[in-house]
Chain A
Amino acid sequence: MRLGAMTSIPMLVGGLPFGILFGSLASANDLNVWFAVAMSSIVFAGSAQFVAIGLISIGAPIWVIVSTTFIVNLRHLLYAADLVKFVKHLPFGLRLFMGFGLIDETYAAVRPLYQSGQINEQTGHFAYIGSFVSFYLMWNGATLLGFMSGELIPGMSEWGLEFAMVATFIGIITPHLKRRPFVLAMVASAMASLVLNGLPNNLGLLLSALIGVLVGFVADTLVAKTLNVSKKGEA
Protein backbone atom coordinates (compact mmCIF):
# COMPACT_ATOMS: atom_id res chain seq x y z
CA MET A 1 0.00 0.00 0.00
CA ARG A 2 2.88 2.24 0.88
CA LEU A 3 4.46 1.68 -2.54
CA GLY A 4 1.21 2.64 -4.29
CA ALA A 5 0.83 5.78 -2.19
CA MET A 6 4.50 6.77 -2.63
CA THR A 7 4.34 6.31 -6.39
CA SER A 8 1.27 8.53 -6.46
CA ILE A 9 2.83 11.50 -4.63
CA PRO A 10 3.67 13.64 -7.69
CA MET A 11 0.14 13.18 -9.02
CA LEU A 12 -1.35 13.84 -5.58
CA VAL A 13 0.44 17.19 -5.60
CA GLY A 14 -0.68 17.78 -9.18
CA GLY A 15 -4.28 16.86 -8.36
CA LEU A 16 -4.56 19.00 -5.22
CA PRO A 17 -5.16 22.31 -7.05
CA PHE A 18 -7.81 20.62 -9.20
CA GLY A 19 -9.67 19.46 -6.08
CA ILE A 20 -9.45 22.92 -4.54
CA LEU A 21 -10.57 24.43 -7.83
CA PHE A 22 -13.54 22.07 -7.97
CA GLY A 23 -14.61 23.02 -4.45
CA SER A 24 -14.29 26.72 -5.14
CA LEU A 25 -16.18 26.41 -8.45
CA ALA A 26 -19.02 24.65 -6.64
CA SER A 27 -19.23 27.47 -4.12
CA ALA A 28 -18.99 30.08 -6.88
CA ASN A 29 -22.02 28.44 -8.56
CA ASP A 30 -24.03 28.65 -5.32
CA LEU A 31 -24.15 24.89 -4.89
CA ASN A 32 -24.54 23.35 -1.47
CA VAL A 33 -21.35 22.23 0.28
CA TRP A 34 -22.92 18.77 0.72
CA PHE A 35 -23.51 18.55 -2.99
CA ALA A 36 -19.83 19.24 -3.72
CA VAL A 37 -18.63 16.77 -1.10
CA ALA A 38 -21.17 14.14 -2.18
CA MET A 39 -19.95 14.44 -5.75
CA SER A 40 -16.30 14.01 -4.75
CA SER A 41 -16.97 11.18 -2.32
CA ILE A 42 -19.66 9.22 -4.21
CA VAL A 43 -18.94 9.89 -7.89
CA PHE A 44 -15.17 10.44 -7.47
CA ALA A 45 -14.35 11.36 -11.09
CA GLY A 46 -12.24 14.49 -11.50
CA SER A 47 -12.83 15.66 -15.07
CA ALA A 48 -16.48 14.52 -15.13
CA GLN A 49 -17.14 16.57 -11.99
CA PHE A 50 -15.85 19.72 -13.67
CA VAL A 51 -17.98 19.05 -16.73
CA ALA A 52 -21.02 18.49 -14.49
CA ILE A 53 -20.50 21.81 -12.67
CA GLY A 54 -20.24 23.51 -16.07
CA LEU A 55 -23.46 21.87 -17.27
CA ILE A 56 -25.30 22.68 -14.02
CA SER A 57 -24.24 26.31 -14.33
CA ILE A 58 -25.87 26.54 -17.78
CA GLY A 59 -29.00 24.77 -16.51
CA ALA A 60 -28.61 21.55 -18.51
CA PRO A 61 -31.18 18.80 -17.81
CA ILE A 62 -30.17 15.87 -15.61
CA TRP A 63 -30.08 13.29 -18.43
CA VAL A 64 -27.55 15.46 -20.31
CA ILE A 65 -25.36 15.68 -17.21
CA VAL A 66 -25.50 11.92 -16.65
CA SER A 67 -24.91 10.91 -20.27
CA THR A 68 -22.02 13.37 -20.60
CA THR A 69 -20.49 11.87 -17.46
CA PHE A 70 -20.78 8.47 -19.11
CA ILE A 71 -18.92 9.62 -22.25
CA VAL A 72 -16.25 11.47 -20.29
CA ASN A 73 -15.56 8.35 -18.21
CA LEU A 74 -15.62 5.80 -21.04
CA ARG A 75 -11.82 5.73 -21.07
CA HIS A 76 -11.93 3.89 -17.75
CA LEU A 77 -13.27 0.91 -19.65
CA LEU A 78 -9.91 0.68 -21.42
CA TYR A 79 -8.09 0.74 -18.08
CA ALA A 80 -10.35 -1.97 -16.68
CA ALA A 81 -9.81 -4.14 -19.77
CA ASP A 82 -6.07 -3.78 -19.32
CA LEU A 83 -6.14 -4.59 -15.59
CA VAL A 84 -8.55 -7.55 -15.69
CA LYS A 85 -5.70 -10.08 -15.92
CA PHE A 86 -4.22 -8.81 -12.63
CA VAL A 87 -7.46 -8.82 -10.61
CA LYS A 88 -9.49 -11.74 -11.93
CA HIS A 89 -8.54 -14.11 -9.09
CA LEU A 90 -9.48 -11.59 -6.37
CA PRO A 91 -12.75 -11.92 -4.40
CA PHE A 92 -15.82 -10.10 -5.73
CA GLY A 93 -16.00 -7.57 -2.88
CA LEU A 94 -12.40 -6.56 -3.41
CA ARG A 95 -12.95 -6.12 -7.15
CA LEU A 96 -16.00 -3.99 -6.37
CA PHE A 97 -13.90 -1.78 -4.12
CA MET A 98 -11.11 -1.54 -6.70
CA GLY A 99 -13.59 -0.76 -9.48
CA PHE A 100 -14.88 2.21 -7.49
CA GLY A 101 -11.33 3.59 -7.32
CA LEU A 102 -10.30 3.04 -10.94
CA ILE A 103 -9.21 6.60 -11.75
CA ASP A 104 -6.66 7.91 -14.27
CA GLU A 105 -4.01 8.58 -11.65
CA THR A 106 -4.20 5.21 -9.92
CA TYR A 107 -4.05 3.43 -13.26
CA ALA A 108 -1.08 5.59 -14.28
CA ALA A 109 0.71 5.02 -10.96
CA VAL A 110 0.10 1.30 -10.52
CA ARG A 111 0.14 -0.12 -14.06
CA PRO A 112 3.90 0.52 -14.59
CA LEU A 113 4.64 -1.29 -11.30
CA TYR A 114 3.14 -4.48 -12.74
CA GLN A 115 5.17 -3.95 -15.89
CA SER A 116 8.46 -3.56 -14.02
CA GLY A 117 7.74 -6.54 -11.77
CA GLN A 118 7.73 -4.49 -8.54
CA ILE A 119 4.23 -5.88 -7.87
CA ASN A 120 2.38 -8.92 -9.20
CA GLU A 121 -1.08 -10.54 -9.13
CA GLN A 122 -0.58 -11.49 -5.47
CA THR A 123 0.57 -8.11 -4.14
CA GLY A 124 -0.68 -5.61 -6.72
CA HIS A 125 -4.04 -4.84 -5.16
CA PHE A 126 -2.33 -3.50 -2.03
CA ALA A 127 -0.41 -0.93 -4.09
CA TYR A 128 -3.59 -0.17 -6.04
CA ILE A 129 -5.62 0.42 -2.86
CA GLY A 130 -2.81 2.49 -1.34
CA SER A 131 -2.82 4.72 -4.39
CA PHE A 132 -6.57 5.10 -4.73
CA VAL A 133 -7.29 5.66 -1.03
CA SER A 134 -4.64 8.40 -0.87
CA PHE A 135 -6.27 10.05 -3.91
CA TYR A 136 -9.69 9.67 -2.34
CA LEU A 137 -8.59 11.42 0.85
CA MET A 138 -6.74 14.14 -1.07
CA TRP A 139 -9.65 14.75 -3.46
CA ASN A 140 -12.30 15.04 -0.75
CA GLY A 141 -10.10 17.12 1.54
CA ALA A 142 -9.23 19.43 -1.35
CA THR A 143 -12.90 19.75 -2.35
CA LEU A 144 -13.84 20.81 1.16
CA LEU A 145 -10.85 23.13 1.43
CA GLY A 146 -11.67 24.70 -1.93
CA PHE A 147 -15.29 25.21 -0.97
CA MET A 148 -14.33 26.86 2.33
CA SER A 149 -11.73 29.11 0.85
CA GLY A 150 -14.05 29.87 -2.07
CA GLU A 151 -12.40 32.64 -3.89
CA LEU A 152 -10.03 33.59 -1.07
CA ILE A 153 -7.08 32.40 -3.16
CA PRO A 154 -7.74 33.83 -6.59
CA GLY A 155 -5.50 32.76 -9.43
CA MET A 156 -4.43 29.50 -7.83
CA SER A 157 -5.44 27.73 -11.02
CA GLU A 158 -2.80 29.83 -12.81
CA TRP A 159 0.11 28.66 -10.66
CA GLY A 160 0.61 25.77 -13.03
CA LEU A 161 0.86 23.11 -10.33
CA GLU A 162 -0.97 20.76 -12.67
CA PHE A 163 2.23 20.51 -14.67
CA ALA A 164 3.30 17.93 -12.07
CA MET A 165 0.74 15.61 -13.62
CA VAL A 166 2.08 16.19 -17.14
CA ALA A 167 5.65 15.47 -16.01
CA THR A 168 4.50 12.30 -14.22
CA PHE A 169 2.75 11.02 -17.33
CA ILE A 170 5.86 11.74 -19.43
CA GLY A 171 7.87 9.76 -16.90
CA ILE A 172 5.51 6.82 -17.46
CA ILE A 173 5.52 7.09 -21.26
CA THR A 174 9.25 7.39 -21.97
CA PRO A 175 10.43 3.94 -20.75
CA HIS A 176 8.12 2.36 -23.37
CA LEU A 177 9.74 4.24 -26.23
CA LYS A 178 12.64 1.82 -26.68
CA ARG A 179 10.34 -0.14 -28.97
CA ARG A 180 9.22 1.37 -32.25
CA PRO A 181 5.50 0.43 -32.15
CA PHE A 182 5.19 2.40 -28.91
CA VAL A 183 6.83 5.44 -30.50
CA LEU A 184 4.38 5.26 -33.38
CA ALA A 185 1.45 4.85 -30.97
CA MET A 186 2.57 7.94 -29.06
CA VAL A 187 3.08 10.08 -32.18
CA ALA A 188 -0.29 9.04 -33.63
CA SER A 189 -2.11 9.67 -30.36
CA ALA A 190 -0.39 13.07 -29.89
CA MET A 191 -1.20 14.29 -33.39
CA ALA A 192 -4.78 13.05 -33.21
CA SER A 193 -5.32 14.71 -29.83
CA LEU A 194 -4.25 18.09 -31.26
CA VAL A 195 -6.40 17.73 -34.38
CA LEU A 196 -9.45 16.49 -32.44
CA ASN A 197 -8.96 18.83 -29.50
CA GLY A 198 -12.07 20.87 -30.37
CA LEU A 199 -14.49 17.95 -30.01
CA PRO A 200 -16.83 18.18 -27.00
CA ASN A 201 -16.95 15.92 -23.92
CA ASN A 202 -13.46 14.45 -24.10
CA LEU A 203 -14.50 12.70 -27.32
CA GLY A 204 -11.24 13.82 -28.92
CA LEU A 205 -9.32 12.21 -26.05
CA LEU A 206 -11.13 8.92 -26.48
CA LEU A 207 -10.73 8.84 -30.27
CA SER A 208 -7.04 9.82 -30.08
CA ALA A 209 -6.36 7.06 -27.56
CA LEU A 210 -8.08 4.52 -29.82
CA ILE A 211 -6.09 5.76 -32.83
CA GLY A 212 -2.87 5.45 -30.81
CA VAL A 213 -3.72 1.90 -29.72
CA LEU A 214 -4.66 0.93 -33.27
CA VAL A 215 -1.45 2.33 -34.79
CA GLY A 216 0.66 0.62 -32.11
CA PHE A 217 -1.17 -2.65 -32.62
CA VAL A 218 -0.77 -2.60 -36.42
CA ALA A 219 2.94 -1.71 -36.12
CA ASP A 220 3.39 -4.47 -33.54
CA THR A 221 1.74 -6.99 -35.87
CA LEU A 222 3.97 -5.95 -38.78
CA VAL A 223 7.12 -6.18 -36.63
CA ALA A 224 6.10 -9.66 -35.43
CA LYS A 225 5.59 -10.78 -39.03
CA THR A 226 8.96 -9.40 -40.15
CA LEU A 227 10.66 -11.20 -37.26
CA ASN A 228 8.98 -14.48 -38.19
CA VAL A 229 10.04 -14.09 -41.81
CA SER A 230 13.66 -13.31 -40.91
CA LYS A 231 13.76 -16.24 -38.45
CA LYS A 232 12.54 -18.55 -41.18
CA GLY A 233 15.14 -17.07 -43.50
CA GLU A 234 17.93 -17.84 -41.02
CA ALA A 235 16.69 -21.39 -40.53
Chain B
Amino acid sequence: MSVLDSVFIIFGMFIVTFGVRFVLFARAHKVVMPDWLERALKFVPVAVLTAIITPMIFVLNGQLTLSLANPWLWGASAAFAIGIWRQQQLLTISVGVLVFFLGKYLLL
Protein backbone atom coordinates (compact mmCIF):
# COMPACT_ATOMS: atom_id res chain seq x y z
CA MET B 1 0.00 0.00 0.00
CA SER B 2 1.48 3.34 -1.04
CA VAL B 3 1.75 6.39 1.20
CA LEU B 4 -0.83 8.14 -0.97
CA ASP B 5 -3.27 5.25 -0.51
CA SER B 6 -2.77 5.45 3.25
CA VAL B 7 -3.46 9.17 3.26
CA PHE B 8 -6.62 8.72 1.17
CA ILE B 9 -7.92 5.94 3.42
CA ILE B 10 -7.36 7.93 6.61
CA PHE B 11 -8.77 11.10 5.11
CA GLY B 12 -11.83 9.35 3.64
CA MET B 13 -12.57 7.50 6.86
CA PHE B 14 -12.16 10.70 8.85
CA ILE B 15 -14.58 12.65 6.63
CA VAL B 16 -17.41 10.09 6.81
CA THR B 17 -16.92 9.34 10.52
CA PHE B 18 -16.71 12.95 11.61
CA GLY B 19 -19.46 13.93 9.16
CA VAL B 20 -21.95 11.49 10.67
CA ARG B 21 -21.09 12.58 14.20
CA PHE B 22 -21.07 16.31 13.58
CA VAL B 23 -23.80 17.01 11.01
CA LEU B 24 -26.59 17.37 13.59
CA PHE B 25 -24.41 19.15 16.16
CA ALA B 26 -23.35 21.65 13.48
CA ARG B 27 -26.86 23.01 13.04
CA ALA B 28 -27.92 22.20 16.58
CA HIS B 29 -29.01 25.75 17.38
CA LYS B 30 -31.47 25.61 14.49
CA VAL B 31 -32.64 22.04 14.86
CA VAL B 32 -36.08 21.81 16.39
CA MET B 33 -37.01 18.28 17.36
CA PRO B 34 -40.68 17.46 16.90
CA ASP B 35 -42.36 15.90 19.91
CA TRP B 36 -42.81 12.45 18.39
CA LEU B 37 -39.09 12.31 17.55
CA GLU B 38 -38.15 13.22 21.12
CA ARG B 39 -40.35 10.42 22.37
CA ALA B 40 -38.82 7.94 19.92
CA LEU B 41 -35.25 9.01 20.73
CA LYS B 42 -35.51 8.14 24.40
CA PHE B 43 -35.50 4.49 23.32
CA VAL B 44 -32.18 4.87 21.48
CA PRO B 45 -29.85 3.98 24.39
CA VAL B 46 -31.71 0.81 25.35
CA ALA B 47 -32.20 -0.30 21.73
CA VAL B 48 -28.65 0.37 20.51
CA LEU B 49 -26.83 -0.97 23.57
CA THR B 50 -29.00 -4.11 23.55
CA ALA B 51 -28.31 -4.66 19.85
CA ILE B 52 -24.56 -4.34 20.46
CA ILE B 53 -24.27 -6.73 23.40
CA THR B 54 -26.89 -9.42 22.67
CA PRO B 55 -24.87 -11.11 19.91
CA MET B 56 -21.72 -10.79 22.06
CA ILE B 57 -23.49 -12.67 24.85
CA PHE B 58 -25.27 -15.38 22.87
CA VAL B 59 -23.06 -15.97 19.84
CA LEU B 60 -19.75 -17.76 20.48
CA ASN B 61 -17.52 -18.55 17.52
CA GLY B 62 -20.34 -17.81 15.12
CA GLN B 63 -22.76 -20.21 16.86
CA LEU B 64 -25.80 -19.38 18.95
CA THR B 65 -24.73 -20.79 22.34
CA LEU B 66 -27.49 -21.19 24.92
CA SER B 67 -25.65 -23.84 26.93
CA LEU B 68 -24.53 -23.47 30.54
CA ALA B 69 -20.94 -23.65 29.34
CA ASN B 70 -21.18 -20.11 27.99
CA PRO B 71 -19.56 -17.77 30.58
CA TRP B 72 -20.91 -14.70 28.76
CA LEU B 73 -24.42 -15.91 29.50
CA TRP B 74 -23.57 -16.44 33.17
CA GLY B 75 -22.02 -13.00 33.58
CA ALA B 76 -24.76 -11.22 31.64
CA SER B 77 -27.56 -12.99 33.56
CA ALA B 78 -25.95 -12.10 36.89
CA ALA B 79 -25.44 -8.47 35.86
CA PHE B 80 -29.00 -8.29 34.58
CA ALA B 81 -30.49 -9.75 37.78
CA ILE B 82 -28.47 -7.39 40.00
CA GLY B 83 -29.28 -4.46 37.75
CA ILE B 84 -33.01 -5.11 38.03
CA TRP B 85 -32.80 -5.68 41.78
CA ARG B 86 -30.59 -2.74 42.76
CA GLN B 87 -30.15 0.07 40.24
CA GLN B 88 -26.48 0.59 41.08
CA GLN B 89 -24.27 0.53 38.04
CA LEU B 90 -20.99 -0.22 39.79
CA LEU B 91 -22.51 -3.15 41.70
CA THR B 92 -24.04 -4.49 38.47
CA ILE B 93 -20.69 -4.32 36.67
CA SER B 94 -18.63 -5.83 39.50
CA VAL B 95 -20.97 -8.78 40.07
CA GLY B 96 -21.30 -9.39 36.32
CA VAL B 97 -17.54 -9.39 35.72
CA LEU B 98 -16.93 -11.57 38.80
CA VAL B 99 -19.47 -14.17 37.70
CA PHE B 100 -18.11 -14.06 34.15
CA PHE B 101 -14.56 -14.85 35.25
CA LEU B 102 -15.71 -17.48 37.75
CA GLY B 103 -17.72 -19.08 34.95
CA LYS B 104 -14.82 -18.85 32.54
CA TYR B 105 -12.37 -20.55 34.89
CA LEU B 106 -14.77 -23.13 36.28
CA LEU B 107 -16.23 -24.09 32.91
CA LEU B 108 -13.15 -24.13 30.69
Q: Is A144 an interface position by the 8 A CB rule?
A: no
Residues of A within 8 Å of B89, CB to CB, are: 112, 168, 171-172
Beta-carbon contact of B25 and A95 below 8 Å: yes
**Alpha-carbon gap, A84 to B30, bound state (A):** 10
Q: Is A129 an interface position by the 8 A CB rule?
A: no
Q: Is B68 an interface position by the 8 A CB rule?
A: no
Beta-carbon contact of A205 and B51 below 8 Å: yes
Q: Is A213 an interface position by the 8 A CB rule?
A: yes
Q: Identify which of B6, B42, B46, B97 gathers the most chain A CB atoms within 10 Å of its CB.
A: B46
Q: Is A42 an interface position by the 8 A CB rule?
A: yes
Which secondary structure dominates where chain B touches chain A? helix
Indicate with 1 or 0, residue by residue over B53-83, a CB within 8 angstroms of chain A CB atoms: 1111111000010000001100110011001
**Alpha-carbon gap, A31 to B76, bound state (A):** 36
Q: Identify which of B16, B36, B87 gathers the most chain A CB atoms within 10 Å of its CB.
A: B16
Beta-carbon contact of A171 and B83 below 8 Å: yes
Q: Is B106 an interface position by the 8 A CB rule?
A: no
Number of A-B contacts (CB under 8 A): 263
**Alpha-carbon gap, A5 to B2, bound state (A):** 38
Nearest-neighbour CB distance to chain B for A204, whole angstroms, equals 8
- Other-chain contact of B55, A111, A172, A182, A194 (Cβ < 8 Å): A194
Whether A166 contacts B17 in the complex (CB less than 8 A), given A172-B49, A194-B54, comes out as: no
Q: Identify which of B44, B83, B90 gathers the most chain A CB atoms within 10 Å of its CB.
A: B44
**Alpha-carbon gap, A29 to B71, bound state (A):** 31
Whether A45 contacts B13 in the complex (CB less than 8 A), given A85-B33, A216-B46, comes out as: yes
Residues of A within 8 Å of B38, CB to CB, are: 85
- Other-chain contact of B51, A65, A160, A170, A209 (Cβ < 8 Å): A209
Nearest-neighbour CB distance to chain B for A90, whole angstroms, equals 8
**Alpha-carbon gap, A112 to B87, bound state (A):** 12
- Other-chain contact of B23, A10, A63, A80 (Cβ < 8 Å): A80
Q: Is A192 an interface position by the 8 A CB rule?
A: yes
Residues of B within 8 Å of A44, CB to CB, are: 17
Indicate with 1 or 0, residue by residue over A167-188, a CB within 8 angstroms of chain B CB atoms: 1111111111100011001101
Nearest-neighbour CB distance to chain A for B44, whole angstroms, equals 5
Beta-carbon contact of A194 and B58 below 8 Å: yes
Beta-carbon contact of A217 and B39 below 8 Å: yes
Residues of B within 8 Å of A188, CB to CB, are: 47
Beta-carbon contact of B24 and A81 below 8 Å: yes
- Other-chain contact of A66, B12, B45, B49, B84 (Cβ < 8 Å): B12
List CB contacts (< 8 Å) of B1-47 with chain A: 1, 5-6, 8-10, 12-18, 20-26, 28-29, 31, 33, 36-47
Beyond A63-B12, A211-B47: 4 further Cβ-contacts under 8 Å?
Answer: A66-B9, A102-B21, A170-B53, A174-B84
A-B contact pairs, 17 of them (CB 8 A): A69-B13, A81-B44, A84-B25, A96-B25, A99-B21, A99-B26, A112-B89, A160-B101, A163-B97, A167-B93, A168-B89, A170-B80, A173-B50, A188-B47, A205-B48, A208-B47, A212-B51
